[in-house]
A and B are shown apart, each in its own frame.
Chain A
Amino acid sequence: EVQLVESGGGLVQPGGSLRLSCAASGFTFSPYGMNWVRQAPGKGLQWVSYISGNSDTRYYADSVKGRFTISRDNAKNSLYLQMNSLRDEDTAVYYCVRSVGCLDVWGQGTTVTVSS
């Protein structure tokens, strides 16, 4: 079964850091581009970041550029999101998502709450 499982969410103070992880299973991880997509409480979906299969290409939403870093370890079938200088508006459920152009496989999400 194709599966993505996120971890690493939690409560963090404004200005703090957090590292999200995503474990992939059930498919060959390395060829696929991967994304992080977030959803603030009661709000819609916002794409956050993308990384290509070989990590050569990385993109970020303007709202997180310079603060978040996406990375992956194909040997460990894992995707990461390092989040620094967190703000209240970063509070959201963060989804790990596989892409084939569109976003075809989604994890269950991990919740990040930024609050003092």
Chain B
Amino acid sequence: DIVMTQSPDSLAVSLGERATINCKSSQSVSSSSNNKNSLAWYQQKAGQPPKLLISWASTRESGVPDRFSGSGSGTDFTLTISSLQAEDVAVYYCQQYYSIPRTFGQGTKVEIK
């Protein structure tokens, strides 16, 4: 199984400041067939189901604010919130869809400082 490890477990950021979440996979999730990384980011607000933010490591879903961006390749990935807003308070998960079983990171809780 591919193990996904996020860091940090939690972070507190001031409104308008940058938040950065890291995700590391135990093996590469890069596909040679399409030259894409099978890595997604999800946002889960309290009491709600997760919401897909980013697929293929860096492709923002329709309707997701452009302050959210994803980067990385191979085994190391980053989710960046460029200017944290109050509505961004949530737990963020990375997930690989390169192989079965699909696996998630343990989650990173983002709060306002």
Point out residues on A near B: beta carbons under 8 Å: 35, 44-47, 50, 59, 61-62, 95, 99, 101-109
B1-60 interface with A by 8 A CB criterion:
38, 40, 42, 44, 49-52, 55-56
List the 4 closest pairs (A to B, CB-CB), nearest first: A102-B40, A47-B102, A106-B49, A102-B55
Smallest Cβ-Cβ distance to A4: which chain B residue: B49
Q: What 1/0 mask marks residues of chain B from 92 to 108 whose CB sits below 8 Å from any chain A CB?
A: 01010100111111110
Give A104 Cβ to nearest chain B Cβ, in Å: 5
Q: What 1/0 mask marks residues of chain B from 70 to 113 whose CB sits below 8 Å from any chain A CB?
A: 00000000000000000000000101010011111111000000
Please determine whether A45 and B40 come into contact, CB atoms closer than 8 angstroms: no
Please determine whether A101 and B106 come into contact, CB atoms closer than 8 angstroms: no
Give B30 Cβ to nearest chain A Cβ, in Å: 14
Q: Chain A contacts of B95 at CB under 8 A?
A: 45, 102-103
Residue count of chain B within 8 Å CB distance of chain A? 22
Tell me whether A47 and B38 are in contact in the complex, defined as CB-CB below 8 angstroms, given that A101-B55, A106-B51 are known contacts: no
Please determine whether B101 and A61 come into contact, CB atoms closer than 8 angstroms: yes
Q: Chain B contacts of A62 at CB under 8 A?
A: 101
Please determine whether A103 and B42 come into contact, CB atoms closer than 8 angstroms: yes
Please determine whether A103 and B40 come into contact, CB atoms closer than 8 angstroms: yes
Please determine whether A47 and B103 come into contact, CB atoms closer than 8 angstroms: yes
Give A2 Cβ to nearest chain B Cβ, in Å: 12
Whole-angstrom CA separation of A103 from B43 in the bound complex: 12
Whole-angstrom CA separation of A61 from B99 in the bound complex: 12
Smallest Cβ-Cβ distance to B44: which chain A residue: A45
Please determine whether A45 and B93 come into contact, CB atoms closer than 8 angstroms: yes
Please determine whether A101 and B97 come into contact, CB atoms closer than 8 angstroms: yes
